[in-house]
Amino acid sequence: MADNPLAGRDLISITDLSRAEIVFLLDRADQLQSAIRRERQLGHLRGYLLATLFYEPSTRTRLSFEAAMLRLGGEVISVADARTASSAAKGESIADAARVVASYADVIVQRHPAVGSAREAADAVNVPVINAGDGSGEHPTQALLDLLTVRREKGRLDGLTVALAGDLKHGRTVHSLSRALAYWNNRLILVSPPSLAMGDEMVNELRTAGLQVDETDDLRQAIGQADVLYVTRIQKERFADPADYERLKDSYVVNRALLAGRPELTVMHPLPRVNEIATDTDDLANAAYFRQAENGLWARIALLTAVLDA
């Protein structure tokens, strides 16, 4: 394979990766997917051991990392819910836990509810640490799989209008993806209720990075203009006033009727979805969210081979 700039590296934030490194990973994801579709399992990571260290449970992310490792011939040790594990309950630091696990495994994938926790683990150990979500911080492999999906669905990563809809204030997913889209020449349309709008600081950062950013609260209008619609959940508990939630929630529900006449609009969602995308859209050819979930496997396969340089 091509010369690998990611050997031995951590991945804490999507901005740890240059534009060229992202493209390197997406290309590798395409190559490895073809090979695994043919062979079911490759031997690239034979003898390597992944530790998944999840201080809060996340079925989807944990299983896709573990499946990635196993499809590459590697092995897995796993803590599915480290909150209840004795060490964390006894007050062990993130750094101590990571140091111990690093003496058993060749790479660590960590999820923890505290912002900065992945950095804390990475600073403590010599093996690569991959951030699988640090609270409201970053979730860089989600951004990677989102980019892989956009490139696969649209054939390119630039010159696109991407509408982000839902809760743009709290979602680490949309923050990481927006930062990554700023590596190319793209336009964002932000669609959210005012109380869940992306913060000014973040919007300014994206504009400074070169993105055209427009804001609206009209989902229908955004759908009319976008190449990609990225939907996220609006959670009742995010609203100070429950009445606001009741009034607004249906304004951000995507369904088949709303998508009529827009077959070229790629619809994405990080999943799990509850009811913000109606199931009547699932069999539309442009409903990409289950392909997007599968892309998590291929993006993580590319990443694991890269950081382990195998």
Q: Is 83 a catalytic residue?
A: no
Rounded to the nearest whole angstrom, what is the least distance from the CB of residue 274 to its own copies in the complex? 5
Which residue of the set 62, 71, 111, 169 is catalytic? Answer: 111
The reply to whether 156 sits near its own copies by the rule CB under 8 A is no
The contacts of residue 59 (CB under 8 Å, 6+ apart) are none
Residue from 240, 243, 257, 274 touching its own copies (CB under 8 A): that is: 274
Please identify, among the stretches 71-79, 155-163, 168-176, 192-200, the one whose residues bind its own copies according to the rule CB under 8 A.
Answer: 71-79
The reply to whether 145 sits near its own copies by the rule CB under 8 A is no
**Do residues 171 and 144 make contact, with C-beta atoms less than 8 angstroms apart?**
no
The contacts of residue 196 (CB under 8 Å, 6+ apart) are 166, 167, 168, 169, 170, 234, 238
Rounded to the nearest whole angstrom, what is the least distance from the CB of residue 82 to its own copies in the complex? 6
Which residue, among 263, 254, 252, has the nearest Cα to 191 in the 3D structure?
Answer: 252
The reply to whether 109 sits near its own copies by the rule CB under 8 A is no
The reply to whether 209 sits near its own copies by the rule CB under 8 A is no
Residue from 208, 272, 283, 285 touching its own copies (CB under 8 A): that is: 272
CA separation, residue 237 to residues 167, 192, 196, 240, 281 (Å)? 12, 16, 12, 8, 26
Q: Is 44 a catalytic residue?
A: no
The contacts of residue 41 (CB under 8 Å, 6+ apart) are 70, 71, 72, 73
Which residue of the set 37, 38, 40, 90 is catalytic? Answer: 90
227 DSSP 8-state letter: S
Query: How many residues belong to the chain?
Result: 310
Residue from 23, 35, 100, 197 touching its own copies (CB under 8 A): that is: 100
Max Cα–Cα distance, the chain, nearest Å = 57
Which residue, among 220, 217, 216, 231, has the nearest Cα to 257 in the 3D structure?
Answer: 220
The reply to whether 297 sits near its own copies by the rule CB under 8 A is yes
Q: Is 111 a catalytic residue?
A: yes
The reply to whether 101 sits near its own copies by the rule CB under 8 A is yes
Q: Give the separation between CA 49 and CA 70, rounded to whole angstroms.
A: 10
Backbone angles phi, psi at 254, to 5 degrees: -95, 130
Residue from 25, 97, 107, 147 touching its own copies (CB under 8 A): that is: 97
Residue from 15, 87, 161, 255 touching its own copies (CB under 8 A): that is: 87
Which CB, 92 or 217, lies closer to its own copies?
Answer: 92
Q: Give the separation between CA 18 and CA 41, rounded to whole angstroms.
A: 29
Please identify, among the stretches 141-149, 169-177, 193-201, 291-299, the one whose residues bind its own copies according to the rule CB under 8 A.
Answer: 291-299
Which residue of the set 9, 44, 61, 62 is catalytic? Answer: 61
Q: Which of residues 224-263 bind its own copies (CB under 8 A)?
A: 233
DSSP 239-303: -SSHHHHHHHGGGG-B-HHHHTT-TTPEEE--S--SSSB-GGGTTSTTB-HHHHHHHHHHHHHHH
Which CB, 43 or 224, lies closer to its own copies?
Answer: 43
**Do residues 7 and 306 make contact, with C-beta atoms less than 8 angstroms apart?**
yes
The reply to whether 127 sits near its own copies by the rule CB under 8 A is no
Q: Is 220 a catalytic residue?
A: no
Q: Which of residues 35-54 bind its own copies (CB under 8 A)?
A: 39-41, 46-49, 51
Q: Is 38 a catalytic residue?
A: no
Please identify, among the stretches 19-27, 85-93, 164-172, 181-189, the one whose residues bind its own copies according to the rule CB under 8 A.
Answer: 85-93
The reply to whether 23 sits near its own copies by the rule CB under 8 A is no
Q: Which residues are catalytic?
A: 60-61, 90, 111, 139
